[in-house]
Chains A and B, each alone.
Chain A
């Protein structure tokens, strides 16, 4: 399967714990996005990587959230000191785009986080 993969698919944690999610994009894709989606809403942009550089981060994202994409391959999203409001589906997407253009984003199946 050469699509976008995410791990784990489900995560249940207690409030205050740290969690880390992994995304493996389609191998030649230079762009990687993280989104958060709650019930009845569309995906909400969290952050964006062009290769290994994190070029944009949502102002809605608190300091408890951090993302990395070492070597421009897989990416990790860490949430520290989780809160119940962090419960959501976390989606990763990748695309292959020339500069300043937008092509199709391919989404992974998501990681569903439940904070108790």
Chain B
């Protein structure tokens, strides 16, 4: 099993749609989790952090399910500008940080 797994997509959704991505992780000891956004040919940037059961920031909601070892990212009312790759990130204990392969999202007018 991969350390961090994401559905690569792509997800093609119309503007205004709600879309959700899942990320599973294999290290049950991980305590904090992150979603980063990466635009084409750009560096990753932090979108949200998840330290307990969940976090909400405007149209974005991240949730954590420790029992099933997955985190999710929900985007409501999708905008064209949300088109990007969304990376799930799990600090792995020690000092290693594991990134998922990313989920590609295309929002169309």
A74 within 8 A of B: no
Bound CA–CA A33/B94 (angstroms): 13
CB atoms of B97 and A45 under 8 A apart: yes
Chain A contact residues (Cβ within 8 angstroms of B): what range?
20 to 34
Bound CA–CA A31/B91 (angstroms): 13
Bound CA–CA A42/B90 (angstroms): 12
Bound CA–CA A86/B39 (angstroms): 23
A72 within 8 A of B: no
Bound CA–CA A105/B44 (angstroms): 9
Q: Which residue of B lies closest to A31 (CB)?
A: B95
Q: Given A91-B43, A107-B45, A108-B43, does the pair A42, B101 have CB atoms closer than 8 Å?
A: yes
User: Which residues of chain A from 1 to 50 have any CB-CB distance to chain B below 8 Å in the complex?
Assistant: 31, 33, 35, 40-45, 48, 50
CB atoms of B95 and A107 under 8 A apart: no
CB atoms of A48 and B96 under 8 A apart: yes
- Residues of A near any B CB (own CB < 8 A): 31, 33, 35, 40-45, 48, 50, 55-56, 58, 91, 101-102, 104-105, 107-110
Give 10 A-B contacts (CB < 8 Å), ordered by A residue: A42-B87, A43-B99, A48-B95, A50-B95, A56-B94, A101-B32, A102-B91, A107-B44, A109-B43, A110-B43
